[in-house]
Structure 1
Amino acid sequence: MLNSDYRDAAARDLEKADAAYGAAFKKAAMDMERLHNSRLTAIRTIQHMERYIVALANRPRDFDRQLGEIRLRYVRFQDTCRQLREAEQRGQETAVGFGMAGALGGAGVAALGPTAAMSVAMTFGTASTGTAIASLSGAAATNAALAWLGGGALAAGGGGVLAGQTFLALAGPVGWVISGVSLAGCLLAVNLSNQEIARRTEESVAAIKKEMERIKEIDAQVLCWNKETKALSNAIMNRLSHIRANRKRDYTAFTDDEMNELVSLFNSTEVLSRKIGETMKQ
């Protein structure tokens, strides 16, 4: 067939971009899950500090005010997690609420780990896991990457153009990758000339690569947050253990150095409480 080699070469390039895109997305989602776990550990660290301060007699009133602000931050984080868990348990109702990313949020990300969908949502600071996943996968770029679908009908269960558009809206390249559907295979189901298929495939590859770079940038920020959160949480626990070693239960019995150390530790705890709530800018 005319230009069949051109078409086949383009399809192979699309398959490679497809695989690389899926790997980048999965890595980012898994790193977000690690960040989420680090934040849960950080909350436990903050609670250790909180219990120590509450048990300290004659502590400054400012300590209680700061504790209230710190507690408000981590409780807000916990409440959002609880709301997402409850939404997940609602099953089908939740999937409908996910909107464009419903299919992906309900099946694809769940396959990555039990808390992956929640971790993505918490990283983007949204109340909807699906909205967060759409932000991660780049809905606009996803549609651009599948521009080749616009010229013909997708043979998806015999649904024609309408079925193709619906499938596109629900998933996109990321959803297809995770669900094991081949972009190149669907490409061949489009009724276009080999030359047109090849041209649109090249456009798709370029769009997918651009979107993959954005996902990698997101992942780099997630890795940075995780490293900072873990380091600060560990440092606070070590310093708290050192202060506890003086076995003093009354703040007025502290030396000036011990008071300064406690204030410094308190400030670090406040920073950690803020880091827990950091979210990706949309």
Structure 2
Amino acid sequence: MLNRSLKLDAITALEKTHQRYESSAASVTKEAEKLMLTRKRCSEQVIVNVERYINQLANSPKQFDRSYDEFKAEYRAFDTLLEEIKFEAEKADFKAGGSAAAGVSAGVATAAFAPSAAMAIATTFGTASTGTAISALSGAAASNAALAWLGGGAVAAGGSGMAGGGALLAMANPVGLAVGVAALVGSGFFARSKNREIAEKCYTRRKEIEVLDAALQASLADIRELNDATQKHADGINSMLTWLQVNAPEDYLDFDKDAKDKLAALVNHLRSLTPLINQTVKR
């Protein structure tokens, strides 16, 4: 048939590009969850250790107290957001088998729709379509902002907004716009179109996916860099705390130079870690 090979080549190229995109999307979700867990460990362990040390240190310098207060406030906002997103995600039933995921075909990575993925995406990419940081939102508003991101952004900004987010939950991809091969095939387009027309349509879709995939790759690098920086400063805090707890007196007025240097290093790590707690990645 005329242009049959052109059609087959175009379909094959589209399928391969889509597979790469799905792999990138899964990697982004996985790394976002790692970042979320790193931040949770900081909240549940690092902040507890710092607080315990502050409580037993007499005459702690105001500089230390101020840095810790800022640190604690950021983690309080992070913890609150996690709880609210988890509640809204569970209520929306992101999990496979629930109403939001009804119609998902067998073999789809439905784990991507779990509340943990929604929480990770919201805290990693955290900007609502209005430009408001998700950390400044709450409850359903934060959840809706995450869904709007999943769907490709606000309609006013050229994205598909909440409608796109809902449609995405019924498809395979946890991040970005769902422009899968299945949607193209399922529309009946292949059955009623000419070979060249099919090839052109596949080419257009493939280019769209390539752009999205490039954006995902950039986000992936940014997420890993942010996670590494967060872990580095958390490790620094733990290291300084361990030294101080073992070697320093319980009254700051009795500190020698080494102890003061260690405490100063701890404060520097706190200052560096604090802005990373709720820092987001551009999509």
Equivalent residue runs for 1:122-133 within 5 Å: 122-125=123-126, 126=134, 128-129=142-143, 131-132=145-146
The change in CA–CA distance for 1:114 and 1:84 in structure 2 (over 3 A counts) is closer
The change in CA–CA distance for 1:268 and 1:14 in structure 2 (over 3 A counts) is same
**Cα distance between partner residues in 1 of 2:165 and 2:279:** 29
Deviation at residue 200 of structure 1 after TM alignment: 1.3
Paired residue for 2:171, among 169, 175, 179? 175
After superposition, give the CA deviation of every residue in 1:99-153 in whole Å (9 maximum; x if it has no partner).
xxx769x99776136612210110012354464365367469xxx9xxxxxxxxx
1:20 alignment counterpart: 20
* % same residue: 26
The SS at the match of 1:58 is coil
Contact 2:219 2:282 (C-alpha < 8 Å) held by counterparts: no
Contact 1:56 1:250 (C-alpha < 8 Å) held by counterparts: yes
Whose helix proportion is higher, 1 or 2? 1
The change in CA–CA distance for 1:177 and 1:15 in structure 2 (over 3 A counts) is farther
The SS at the match of 1:175 is coil
The SS at the match of 1:249 is coil
Q: Does 1:135 align with 2:131?
A: no
The change in CA–CA distance for 1:173 and 1:11 in structure 2 (over 3 A counts) is farther
**Cα distance between partner residues in 2 of 1:173 and 1:110:** 9
**Cα distance between partner residues in 1 of 2:232 and 2:266:** 14
Q: Does 1:7 align with 2:3?
A: no
The change in CA–CA distance for 1:54 and 1:121 in structure 2 (over 3 A counts) is same
Runs of 5+ unmatched residues, structure 1: 96-101, 145-165
Moved over 6 A (4+): 106-109, 166-169, 178-181
Contact 2:67 2:270 (C-alpha < 8 Å) held by counterparts: no
After superposition, give the CA deviation of every residue in 1:7-47 in whole Å (9 maximum; x if it has no partner).
12111111111111100000110011011111111222133
**Cα distance between partner residues in 2 of 1:129 and 1:20:** 28
Deviation at residue 76 of structure 1 after TM alignment: 0.4
Deviation at residue 50 of structure 1 after TM alignment: 2.3
Runs of 5+ unmatched residues, structure 2: 127-133
**Cα distance between partner residues in 2 of 1:239 and 1:259:** 11
The change in CA–CA distance for 1:168 and 1:245 in structure 2 (over 3 A counts) is closer
- How many pairs are equivalent? 250
After superposition, give the CA deviation of every residue in 1:198-238 in whole Å (9 maximum; x if it has no partner).
10111111111111011000000001111111122112211
2:268 alignment counterpart: 267
When the two chains are superposed, the root-mean-square deviation of aligned CA atoms in Å is 3.4
Equivalent residue runs for 1:219-258 within 5 Å: 219-258=220-259
Contact 1:136 1:215 (C-alpha < 8 Å) held by counterparts: no
Please report the TM-score for the alignment, with normalisation by the length of structure 1: 0.76
Equivalent residue runs for 1:149-164 within 5 Å: none
Larger relative contact order, structure 1 or 2 (CA cutoff 8 Å, min sep 6): 1
The SS at the match of 1:182 is helix
2:81 alignment counterpart: 80
The change in CA–CA distance for 1:181 and 1:17 in structure 2 (over 3 A counts) is closer
Deviation at residue 5 of structure 1 after TM alignment: 2.1
